[in-house]
Amino acid sequence: MRHAAGWACYRLPRGRPVKKILEKFASLKLAIALIGYLVVTSILATLVPQGLSPEEYRTLYPRPLAELVVQTGFGSFFGSILFIVPALLFFANLSTCTIKRLVRELQRKGKKRFGPDILHLGLMLLVLGSVWSYSRHWEGSVMLAQGEGVNLPDGSVMYLKEFRFERYDDGRPRDWVSVVDLIKDGVTVKENFEIRVNTPLRYAGLTLYQASYSDAPYLLLKDSLGKEFRMS
């Protein structure tokens, strides 16, 4: 029996090709390699903005690096084969080790130890949950000026009515507030909803939150009747 980092695999009898393949597939070295890959690439993915368009990546990074991100799918890492395939391989590796160890433990006489198996099952559920979550995950971003709107996947439209950058009396940032209306089929679903820091708008399975802001100059015109026309 070999133990490392909470999981264990044992060697199968030699001599049969299928068992030799299973032994290599369920090896501890493969598990460590997959964990190392998933940890390193996941950390790198947090440093790369996810879900941007190819044009945005080409603006953000030097051309060779931008093409690498676009062509490899690293811009949508957690929903790409770069993450899903190694994660499923790790799940299969861990499942094989767990089943074989559990069978051997059940056949063992005397006191049985199921602690490693419980840990394995927890890791397996974590991997499945991650793959399921990110495979169904969708992310996008848009910049809106006051008065502009964006179409949402369910056919509704979110309009930005007002944006406020609130400060304390000493000038320190206090909060960023986006006042929005949500309209679907001509009916107002949400009115004057304030999206704040740590207070997103949750609607129809979507989570709408503020990611950044910037100054947007505009030209304000008035006609002879005093009606205002805003030009971004």
Phi-psi region at 155: left, alpha or beta (left = phi > 0; alpha = psi -120 to 50): left
Strand order in the sheet with 173-184: 149-151, 157-167, 173-184, 187-195
pLDDT of residue 134: 65
pLDDT digit string, tens, across residues 135-147? 666 667 788 888 8
Q: Name the pTM for this structure.
A: 0.52
pLDDT of residue 132: 74
* Parts of the chain with a pLDDT under 70: 1-19, 21-22, 131, 134-139, 215-219, 229-232
pLDDT of residue 1: 41
pLDDT digit string, tens, across residues 31-54? 899 999 999 998 998 888 877 778
pLDDT of residue 222: 77
Quick one: tokens of 22? 């299973």
Per domain, the residue ranges of the chain are 2-135, 149-231
pLDDT of residue 194: 93
| Maximum distance among all Cα pairs of the chain, rounded to whole angstroms | 96
**Environment class of 95 (CB within 10 Å of its CB; exposed 0-12, middle 13-18, buried 19+):** middle
pLDDT of residue 2: 44
Other C-beta atoms lying within 10 Å of the C-beta of residue 174: 13
pLDDT of residue 7: 46
**Residue type for 16, please?**
R
pLDDT of residue 217: 66
